[in-house]
């Protein structure tokens, strides 16, 4: 697939395509540096800590802590009908990931686990529920 095709199909660009391919199998991938072990998300072609280009994809635990949360009342995408809650989750590995809430009403500091929201013709989106 060309870069344009992957973007059109919801699989991101060449750099983020592995994330979306794994999402199809309900696996959360993060980049980890082979030089200093730093985890990072979103993907970059080099490590943010040591600038090494030895970064590769590894599977994350899918567990984390709510760092921040908000309820959206204004429609910003035709795919999402307000009101809905989104959480910024600090993953066990360190990076923060934004996602919708699938179950419960998580508060800041709550432990959450990842789940996947299936979509038609696109890879699933990560969502979180209270652990
Ligand atoms: Zn590094």
Which pair of structure tokens corresponds to residue 75? 């429609």
Q: What is the pLDDT of residues 87-126, one digit of tens each?
A: 999 999 999 999 999 988 899 999 999 999 999 889 999 9
C-alpha 130 to ligand 1 mean position (Å): 32
Q: What is the pLDDT of residue 5?
A: 64
pTM summary value: 0.88
Q: What is the pLDDT of residues 61-84, one digit of tens each?
A: 999 999 999 999 999 988 889 999
Q: How many CA atoms lie within 13 A of 70 on its CB side?
A: 5
C-alpha 52 to ligand 1 mean position (Å): 5
Residue 1 has pLDDT above 60, yes or no: no
Q: What is the pLDDT of residues 40-50, one digit of tens each?
A: 999 999 999 99
C-alpha 32 to ligand 1 mean position (Å): 8
Which pair of structure tokens corresponds to residue 70? 């908000």
C-alpha 57 to ligand 1 mean position (Å): 13
C-alpha 46 to ligand 1 mean position (Å): 8
C-alpha 103 to ligand 1 mean position (Å): 35
Give the sign of the dihedral formed by CA 41, CA 110, CA 104, CA 85. Answer: negative
- Chain centre to alpha carbon of residue 121: 19
Q: What is the pLDDT of residue 104?
A: 85
Q: What is the pLDDT of residue 8?
A: 66
Q: How far is CA 81 from each of CA 15, 78, 111, 126, 130, rounded to the nearest angstrom? A: 29, 7, 25, 17, 21
Q: How far is CA 111 from each of CA 23, 66, 88, rounded to the nearest angstrom? A: 21, 7, 12
Q: Going from the N-terminus, what domains does the chain have, and what CATH number goes with each?
A: 1-60 (no CATH), 61-131 (2.40.50.840)
């Amino acid at each position: 697939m060309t870069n344009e095709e992957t973007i059109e199909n919801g699989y991101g660009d060449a750099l983020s395509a592995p994330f979306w391919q794994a999402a199809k199998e309900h696996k959360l991938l993060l980049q980890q540096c082979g030089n200093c072990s730093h985890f990072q998300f979103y993907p970059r072609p080099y490590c943010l800590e040591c600038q090494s280009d030895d970064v590769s994809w590894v599977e994350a635990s899918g567990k984390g802590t709510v760092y921040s949360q908000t309820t959206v009342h204004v429609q910003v995408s035709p795919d999402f009908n307000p009101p809905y809650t989104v959480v910024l989750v600090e993953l066990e590995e360190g990076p923060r990931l934004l996602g919708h809430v699938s179950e419960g009403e998580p508060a800041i500091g709550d432990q959450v686990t990842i789940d996947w929201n299936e979509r038609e013709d696109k890879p699933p989106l990560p969502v979180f529920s209270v652990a």
